[in-house]
């Protein structure tokens, strides 16, 4: 956390995109996998005690995808695939799939204005945020009595 590559802000864990992925890639770096593996047990325990699930969100900077041999159509697709990669990795490392879901934000919701490369690097990130589980208490009415 001291290096700023991992942040904790309002209950959200932010992980620098560079720690997890190379630029414009969804292939997880070995250091990123190790980090995610180390988070599984504490996150699983935390979520169980609070009856919450974890939203894994992908974000990018405002730069368009590079032309040429690009793998992704745009920043929305890149952020979605990165969120899915992190979600799948957490599942592979022991997190129950019922405790996670992925979301993509693309270049929307930057942490800071995309004014220079340092700011853009901050906006390329994956966040994990606990959210309440959906209530399964659907209204059940007793069957009408037969006359």
Alpha helices in 11-94 (DSSP H): 17-20, 30-50, 75-92
Predicted pLDDT at 68: 57
The model's pTM: 0.85
- pLDDT category at 146 given cuts 50, 70, 90 is low
Q: Residue 9: pLDDT above 60?
A: yes
Torsion angle in degrees (nearest 10) through CA of 94, 132, 102, 64: -140
Average pLDDT over every residue of 57-72: 82
Whole-angstrom distance, CA of residue 99 vs CA of residue 55: 9
Average pLDDT over every residue of 27-42: 94
Predicted pLDDT at 1: 46
Give the closest residue to 54 by CA, choosing from 77, 29, 86, 9: 86
Structural domains for the chain: 6-132 (3.30.1330.60)
């Amino acid at each position: 956390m001291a290096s700023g590559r991992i942040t904790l802000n309002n209950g959200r864990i932010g992980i620098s995109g560079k720690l997890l992925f190379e630029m414009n890639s969804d292939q997880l770096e070995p250091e990123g996998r190790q980090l995610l593996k180390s988070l599984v047990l504490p996150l699983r325990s935390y979520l169980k005690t609070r009856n919450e699930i974890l939203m894994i969100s992908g974000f990018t900077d405002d730069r368009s995808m590079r032309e040429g041999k690009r793998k992704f159509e745009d920043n929305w697709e890149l952020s979605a695939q990165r969120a899915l990669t992190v979600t799948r990795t957490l599942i592979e490392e022991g997190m129950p799939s019922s405790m996670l879901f992925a979301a993509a934000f693309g270049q929307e919701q930057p942490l800071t204005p995309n004014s220079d490369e340092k700011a853009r690097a901050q906006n390329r990130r994956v966040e994990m945020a606990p959210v309440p589980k959906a209530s399964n208490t659907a209204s059940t009415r007793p069957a009408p009595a037969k006359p």
